[in-house]
């Protein structure tokens, strides 16, 4: 596989996003940020994303699913979940910083 050198002009806000990703240590270089973005566009996830999902599934989702299987009545009905979400949405909408 060959390589190709390109020059890209970015708006200030896009460049700041690029720099922030490098300065945070999440990426080693601007090139790595761009490659990650291209892979995301192509439908690939970075290994760190996959690892985070695996940890979340193992540590949070599976234990809850096992508890729900053992005691189905311990969960919430769809109506209860909807009422809770609607309440949270109303609360969020009344906050001064809500968009």
Asked if residue 2 belongs to a domain, the reply is: no
Is 98 a residue whose pLDDT tops 60? no
**Residue 39 lies in domain:** 12-44
Q: Are residues 63 and 40 in the same domain?
A: no
Per-residue pLDDT band for 68 (boundaries 50, 70, 90) equals confident
Who's near 86: CB < 8 A, 6+ residues apart? none
State how many domains the chain has.
2
Is 87 a residue whose pLDDT tops 90? yes
Condensed to tens digits (0 to 9), the pLDDT of residues 4-25 reads 888 889 899 999 999 999 999 8
Asked if residue 78 belongs to a domain, the reply is: yes
Q: Are residues 67 and 54 in the same domain?
A: yes
Cα 67 → chain centroid: 26
Q: Are residues 87 and 52 in the same domain?
A: yes
**pLDDT for position 20:** 92
Asked if residue 34 belongs to a domain, the reply is: yes
Residue 59 corresponds to which tokens in the numbers above?
A: 């540590």
Asked if residue 7 belongs to a domain, the reply is: no
Asked if residue 61 belongs to a domain, the reply is: yes
Q: Are residues 56 and 37 in the same domain?
A: no
């Amino acid at each position: 596989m060959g390589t190709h050198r390109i020059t890209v002009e970015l708006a200030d806000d896009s460049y700041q996003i690029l720099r922030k990703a490098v300065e945070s240590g999440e990426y080693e270089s601007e090139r790595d940020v761009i490659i990650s973005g291209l892979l995301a566009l192509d439908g690939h996830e970075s290994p760190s994303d996959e690892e985070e999902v695996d940890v979340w599934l193992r540590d949070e989702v599976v234990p809850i699913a096992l508890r729900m299987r053992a005691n189905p009545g311990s969960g919430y009905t769809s109506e209860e979940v909807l009422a809770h979400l609607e309440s949270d949405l109303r609360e969020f909408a009344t906050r001064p910083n809500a968009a």
